[in-house]
Amino acid sequence: MNLQFGSSGIRGKYPETVNSSVAFELGRLIPRIMGEELALGNDPRYSGPVLKASFLAAALENRAKVLDYGLIPTPALAYQTKSLGRSAGIMITASHNPPEYNGFKVFNKSGEALDDETRLSLKNPKKLTYDGRASSLEPADPREYKELLSRVVFKKKWKVVLDCGNGAASQLAPAIYRDRLDKVTTINSYPDGGFPGRGSEPTRKSVQTLGSMVGEIHFDAGIAFDGDADRMYIVDDKGVCPLQDRILASYIAFLAKKSKGPFVVPLDASMVVDEIAEKTGARLVRGPVGDAKLLREAKRLNANFAGEPSGAWIHREYNNCPDGPLSGLLFLKAAETLGLSVSEMVRDVPEYHMIREGMRYTGKLSQRKFSKMANGLKRILGKNSSVETKLGLRVNTDRAWVLVRDSGTEPVIRVTGESKDRSEATRVMRETLRLLRQVLKGR
């Protein structure tokens, strides 16, 4: 069996794409290729126990020594892998995808998502022989990760509502935040693989209940996590759920007071991030969409911070994995350092009109279709627009842009558009989607 890795490891619907056979094959290969000392964790998806049992059956047969963390956030599992020097970390999760999905994120001994070379070796394994050495399986506690987050120290008596989304953060995050902050209230903080509270992905729409609660009880902030807690969403002290590009921009402005960067953001981040970076003198670099690719770009540039509007933020001096609980604490610390509330942090960051859509498509855009899209988008945005094709298809003007790219985790083409004018954003998105349908149908 050839294991098919995407930008976020192995991911798909259970059991059509991701099943016990995939789990068994992964458990057979990882100890032989990456090493025997493994860290293992999972989110609460209903299919997790079946995948875990199959993975362990193969891994233990192949002399693995497994530390089993059970329900744990992905960033905690990645950090444990790094801090304890394990050969590999395996997280059974589909992150923010719906409950019918599951998958595997695999980390190397540095706590980094698999690079392309390791993916290739797993896809095309060499035949290896078993030598009969003993295996082991032990329960484990993420003490080192707890110690990492204890380094964020507060003077202000913060009052925060956590929305754990019924996900992997449901047990660990409330305990850590209660240890660091004055008052912590939680919602959706019992693990449930169906994600009944608001779904597995924190979006502006899905965190409205969190916003209402923050406003009603007059707390300082709300923080929501996705299914495996590598993403977070910040709600301000007024209960407002701001566009997270504004949160990202305000945080980069804070970081720029200490260092001018570089700071890495993906191609689909709002143009307001560029504007704030320019005002603060920060060096901003646009990288590929997807946290594993963004990390590689940050490493190449020796950048300490890389962040996506999705709330997947990487602080390389702390953790090589996007870390929702850590990022939430560090954002609060930034506001405290500046003597500002969360709403004051983002007050001077404008919000433009951004629309994100997706269109299901099982293939890849051919070069001919890609060229048709590029020419069509130039007509939609005007003759003065510029085209970028390095990391997808992005067409820009000084007031608007649109990005068309393949999803790395689903059979979907992602379309993101933004304009300083609401009606222009709506028009650009409407015409882009119409063009995309025509191109995909071969017209």
Q: Catalytic residue numbers?
A: 95
Phi/psi of residue 164, nearest 5 degrees: -85, -5
Count the neighbouring beta carbons within 10 Å of the beta carbon of residue 16: 8
Q: Which residue has the tokens 């509502």?
A: 161
Burial of 253 by CB count in 10 Å (0-12 exposed, 13-18 middle, 19+ buried)? buried
Going along 46-146, which residue ranges are E strands? 65-71, 88-92, 101-107, 136-139
Q: Which residue intervals of 137-242 are DSSP H helices?
A: 143-149, 172-180, 208-217
Handedness of CA 369, 374, 376, 377 (dihedral sign): positive
Distance between alpha carbon 400 and the CA centroid of its chain, in Å? Answer: 25
Rounded Cα gap, residues 402 and 191, in angstroms: 37
Distance between alpha carbon 383 and the CA centroid of its chain, in Å? Answer: 35
Check if the beta carbon of residue 116 is closer than 8 Å to that of residue 44. no
By three-state DSSP, how is residue 326 classified? helix
| Residue in 364, 386, 390, 352 with CA at minimum distance from that of residue 269 | 352
Tokens for 77, please give them: 């599992």
Give CA separation, 413 vs 79, 287, 408, 440, in Å.
Answer: 32, 18, 9, 10
Check if the beta carbon of residue 377 is closer than 8 Å to that of residue 383. no
DSSP 15: T
Q: Which residue has the tokens 């078993």?
A: 130
End-to-end CA distance of the chain: 38
Rg of the chain (C-alpha set): 22
Q: Looking at the DSSP assignment, which residues form a beta bridge with residue 388?
A: 394
| Residue in 107, 115, 98 with CA at minimum distance from that of residue 77 | 107
